[in-house]
Amino acid sequence: MAFVIDSHILPTAHSQLAEILSRHTTMPVRVTSTAMPIRANHVSVSSPNADLLIENYTFKVASPRSRKNAQIGLLFISLAEATGARVINIILSGYGGDGTAGCQHIKAKGGTTLLRTCLPK
């Protein structure tokens, strides 16, 4: 299984997510770049100001982002197109409606979405 992490952070932010994750797993952790193949047992982390897409089992990184707060949906749609029923996406938190259309696309292709929400007590 390959792990791809995309998050909502400011486009100007310097993300240390890849470095932090690498201290907590034995899998290689890398920041995505265009034409980088998706590999099993690897963790791939997106860049802060980029749309991350999947084409022919490789990453396509488009920078700067095409639209504000739309990168998760774009990733999910491209994952659904590239992998169909093999994709399992996990949403740990949400921002606005980003990801909704992508989740619907994944479901239509036979994939699975898991949602983890944290609601106040």
Instruction: Give per-residue pLDDT as tens, 51-96.
Output: 899 998 999 998 888 777 778 889 999 999 999 999 998 887 766 6
Which position has the token pair 């240390």?
16
Give this prediction's pTM: 0.83
Residue 118: partners with Cβ closer than 8 Å, 6 or more residues away = 93
Residue 68: partners with Cβ closer than 8 Å, 6 or more residues away = none
All domains of the chain, ordered by start, with CATH? Answer: 3-115 (3.40.50.180)
Which phi and psi angles does 76 have, rounded to 5°? Answer: -60, -40
Which amino acid is it at 80? A
Which ranges of the chain would DSSP assign to H, the alpha helix? 17-22, 71-83, 100-108
